Chains A and B, each alone.
Chain A
Amino acid sequence: MIEIKSVSLVREGQRVLDSIDLLLPRGGLTALVGPNGAGKSTLLSLAARLLPLQDGSVTIDGLPVESTPGKLLAKKIAILRQDSGPPPRVSVRDMVGFGRFPHSGGRMTAQDRTMVEEALARFELEALANRSLDRLSGGQRQRVMVAMTYCQDTDYILLDEPLNNLDMYHARQLMLELRRLVDETGRTIVIVLHDINHASASADRIIAMKNGMIAADGTPETVMRTEVLEAIYGFRVPVIETNGMRLALQYASCAP
């Protein structure tokens, strides 16, 4: 369980997070949605000890993130942030293999290698395995990063906008794959999404953030409602129900 207790963060005089309390029990696919600048990425980074806590506490299975050795945490929780920096000239296979570092310490065993191959297959990257990362498109690179994060083989996986740059096919594939991971291996996945319809279709729970606070929290049925979405995004979003799913029609011509 990830336990976030009264976490606040102030950056350059701006309150980014305002006393967030959140319990993420083991298992399940949780989508984090909300407008730009709501504090979603910051919350994820704090939970995964990539930013120092200013106020409040975060524990993962009872381990406080700020005092637990990084090596130990790296076997519990993996985080993928939004892409930054120039891509290195490293092969896709090597890159995915870096995900094994917390386990292998740099010396890959046969088991580590099997895991890498499995990750390559799972995210349909076999054909690219020997290509250098700087020769891939943004979407391909994004899938490599997700595969690397998966390869870390942690109970908790935090993904910050992994659908960035992905085409319709690969976005859907990734969501299906994450769903399968949760259902088959009991992993806990938290994913920041901008496409709330993906959240509605795949997530067990949707947490909406706004202005550094939690604006809505519940199953897709409770969050995917016109009045709730209006409170979050500030405009009327028609919601229809089809194939047992609630879909938001946020498109320009779908006037309410």
Chain B
Amino acid sequence: MFVPAIPLHRRVVMSAGLCLALLVVASLAIGVEEISLSSTARSVPLADLLSISRLPRTLAAVLCGAGLAVAGQILQTLTRNRFVEPSTAGTAQSAALGILIVTLFLPAAGLGMKALVASICALAGTALFLSTAHRLPPEQPHLVPLFGMVYGGVVGAAVTYVAWQNDLLQYLDIWTNGEFSGVLRGRYELLFVAVVIVAVAMLIAERLTIMALGEAQATSLGIDYRRMTQIGLVLVSVMSALSVVVVGLIPFVGLVVPNLVSRLSGDNLRGTLPLTALGGAILVLASDIAGRIIRFPYEIPVGTVMGVIGPAVFLWFVLQERRDA
């Protein structure tokens, strides 16, 4: 439902869609194994290369990006703070703790079990963050992300300690630094849950937008604030946990994309969530492609690429916010 006054928004969505389509094609084409129609002497058949490796990798990046961006937007709504996202709220670190627990106590468990325990831990960790964040003075908005970073750091340190004690530091690196090079058919399908998460978020978009006005206003408009908060927490936690389990932690997507979208198209989530999802997919896929190209034929993990882009954009936002105020 767009008011005729903003056809700009529609144009932005369409160009974002086009941009993503181009990136998908590029992602399918770029890699160590060269793709060209003329090459006959290839080591892997083209169909296999695409269906086993390139397509899963591309889809994983798209799903992770879209899901994490939407998760970041939800978390920002719940905290009423533009500067938080799953990796600065202890969500991702708690998920890593969950995987560690499964690895220690149920070493034979599959991806599904890991995802489940990681989601539960992420939920507990994020709920604790949220209940504390709500007690911080609202007139100091920068306290919330600050607290989140410290909190995430503490949980992360605990994870590192346990991993170190049990000689699992190498595994830990897999979960804490997001990377798509290991994504193969049969090892990423869990990520399709992101489609459900984004869909549910779009269904409750109007409620979320009203919740961003605060608990009192939302309650007055007949929204069950507590229940909606619980639903939001589940969406955020499951999405973050899945991405950590399958590809590892990808920081800053949930922060950068919602802020950019807010600047471009505002905060009425009903209109902007599709753009947020598209934006997340674009950012992660582009970062993954960049990671593949920069020191070809070697790769730079997407988590590292994002770790460079993210803080820069974040800083820019904070400075802009000050200029606007």
Contacts and interface: CB of A to CB of B under 8 A. Distances in A.
A102 B3 contact: no
The majority secondary structure among interface residues of chain B is loop
A130 B5 contact: yes
Given A90-B209, A108-B1, A102 B222 contact: yes
A99 interface: yes
Interface stretch (B30-38, B50-58, B183-191, B260-268): B260-268
Contacts of A91: 3, 5, 266, 268
A88 B216 contact: no
A106 B266 contact: no
A194 interface: no
A107 B197 CA distance: 21
A74 B262 contact: no
Nearest to A149: B220
Contacts of B209: 88, 90, 98
A243 interface: no
Contact-size category for A: 20 to 34
Contacts of B270: 106
Interface string B249-284: 000000000000010001110100000000000000
Given A50-B219, A73-B222, A93-B3, A101 B268 contact: no
Given A89-B267, A106-B206, A79 B213 contact: no
Interface string A134-149: 0000000000000000
A94 B5 CA distance: 12
A73 B224 CA distance: 12
Interface string A106-121: 1010000000000000
A49 B222 CA distance: 11
B220 A74 contact: yes
A90 B266 CA distance: 6
B172 to A, nearest CB: 38
B200 to A, nearest CB: 14
A132 B217 CA distance: 18
A35 interface: no
A84 interface: yes
B3 A130 contact: yes
A60 to B, nearest CB: 13
B224 A101 contact: no
A42 to B, nearest CB: 12
Given A75-B222, A88-B212, A101 B3 contact: no
Given A106-B270, A130-B5, A45 B221 contact: no
A76 to B, nearest CB: 10
Contacts of B262: 89
Contacts of B80: 85-86
A115 B206 CA distance: 18
A45 B216 contact: yes
Contact of A106 (B3, B207, B212, B267): B207
A80 B224 CA distance: 17
Contact of B221 (A49, A88, A101, A130): A101
A80 to B, nearest CB: 8
Given A84-B138, A90-B266, A132-B266, A74 B222 contact: yes
B116 to A, nearest CB: 31
Contact of B222 (A71, A90, A93): A71
A78 interface: yes
B214 interface: yes
Interface in B141-176: 141
Contacts of B214: 84-85
A218 interface: no
B223 interface: yes
Contacts of B268: 90-91, 94
A152 B222 CA distance: 10
B10 to A, nearest CB: 15
Contacts of A48: 220
A54 to B, nearest CB: 17
Nearest to B225: A70
A45 B216 CA distance: 9
Contacts of A101: 206, 210, 221-223
B267 A49 contact: no
Interface in B209-249: 209-210, 212-217, 219-224
A70 B224 CA distance: 7
B217 A81 contact: yes
B205 to A, nearest CB: 8
A50 B220 contact: yes
Nearest to A105: B206
Given A85-B80, A89-B262, A89-B266, A99 B216 contact: no
Contact of B3 (A50, A72, A89, A94): A94
Given A86-B141, A89-B267, A91-B268, A79 B3 contact: no
Contacts of B207: 106
Nearest to A158: B220
Q: Which 3 pairs from chain A and chain B are nearest by CB?
A: A74-B222, A106-B206, A89-B266
19 contacts: A48-B220, A50-B220, A70-B222, A70-B223, A72-B222, A74-B222, A78-B220, A79-B216, A84-B138, A85-B213, A86-B80, A86-B141, A88-B209, A88-B266, A89-B266, A89-B267, A98-B213, A101-B222, A108-B1
